[in-house]
Amino acid sequence: MMKHPPIEHAASALDFEHPAADPIASFQRWFDSAHEQTKLPNPNAMSVATIDPDGRPSVRVVLCRGIDARGIVFHTNRESRKGEALRAHPRACANFHWDPLDRQVRIEGRVEHTTEAESDAYWASRPRENRVNAIASQQSRPIGTRAALEAAVREVEERFAGKDIPRPPHWGGFRIVPDRIEFWQGHKHRLHDRMAYLRTGEGEWTVTRLCP
């Protein structure tokens, strides 16, 4: 696997000496380059860490489905383990790692629900089978066998036969509203570039270069 390819990826490189003012725009640039310049099957995959009600950290991979000035969005079952964690502690940390580009981004912040309209639009964009399975699966709850899961899927299929499948109220998007964004660009012999943006109370970003 090609590593440290600064020439090939110069177009999407960030200037760590003269950092851009808006880290979300810089993140978008790296996110886009991960789609355009790699063959990763899920360049939008991110690990999202949360804190369980008892203070225990947990992390899982989800897909980033939206980026804008407000933050980054993923969709899930809000009654899942992560959903319960976010109800107790509405903060999360997302981490992207694009190995072929030797890049990592860490995004931290409070978490809010996406609007009903955003959740509805994403739900409507999913294939019917995904919507059926999302309803049948009580995400993160125990289930005895695969046969039981498949029976739950059949039950949902029968219940909605010939009908539209509405989004269940517990299924929707979460938005991480960033107050800290860190960029990491790998270099030879571990002399990597790092910089962290912090959002002040007034909404302005300040940036600090960090040792690797």
Ligand X SMILES: Cc1cc2nc3c(=O)[nH]c(=O)nc-3n(C[C@H](O)[C@H](O)[C@H](O)COP(=O)(O)O)c2cc1C
Is residue 114 part of the contact set for ligand X (CB under 6 A)?
no
Q: Which of residues 62, 149, 198, 207 is near ligand X by CB under 6 A?
A: 62
Min dist CB 129 to ligand X, Å, is 16
Binding residue count for ligand X, defined by CB under 6 A: 15
CA dist., res. 85 & res. 178, Å (int): 18
Considering only 29, 70, 81, 194, the residue that binds ligand X (CB under 6 A) is: 81
Q: How far is the CB of 29 from ligand X (least distance, A)?
A: 22
Single-letter code of the amino acid located at 31 = F
Closest CA to 110 of 61, 51, 28, 175: 175
Q: How far apart are the first and last CA of the chain?
A: 22
CB-facing half-sphere around the CA of 201: CA atoms within 13 A: 0
Told to check if 74 binds ligand X by CB under 6 A, we report yes
Look at residues 157, 48, 151, 153 and name the one whose alpha carbon lies nearest to residue 93: 48
Binding of residue 207 to ligand X (CB under 6 A): no
Q: Which of 2, 25, 61, 151 binds ligand X (CB under 6 A)?
A: 61
Which of 190, 194, 199, 209 is catalytic? The answer is 190
Q: Which positions ≥6 away from 146 have C-beta within 8 Å?
A: none
Could you tell me which stretch among 70-78, 114-122, 179-187, 203-211 binds ligand X (CB under 6 A)? 70-78
Which of 2, 59 has the CB closer to ligand X? 59
- Judge contact between 210 and 182, C-beta under 8 A: yes
Q: What is the DSSP letter of 168?
A: P
**121/131 Cα distance (integer angstroms):** 13
Choice between 25 and 59, CB closer to ligand X: 59
209 counts as catalytic: no
Q: Which of 80, 104, 114, 185 binds ligand X (CB under 6 A)?
A: 80
Amino acid found at 205 = W
Q: How many CB atoms lie within 10 A of CB 138?
A: 14
Q: Give yes or no for residue 130 binding ligand X (CB under 6 A).
A: no
- By annotation, the residues acting in catalysis are 190
Catalog residues that contact ligand X under the rule CB under 6 A: 42, 45, 58, 60-63, 74-76, 80-82, 139-140
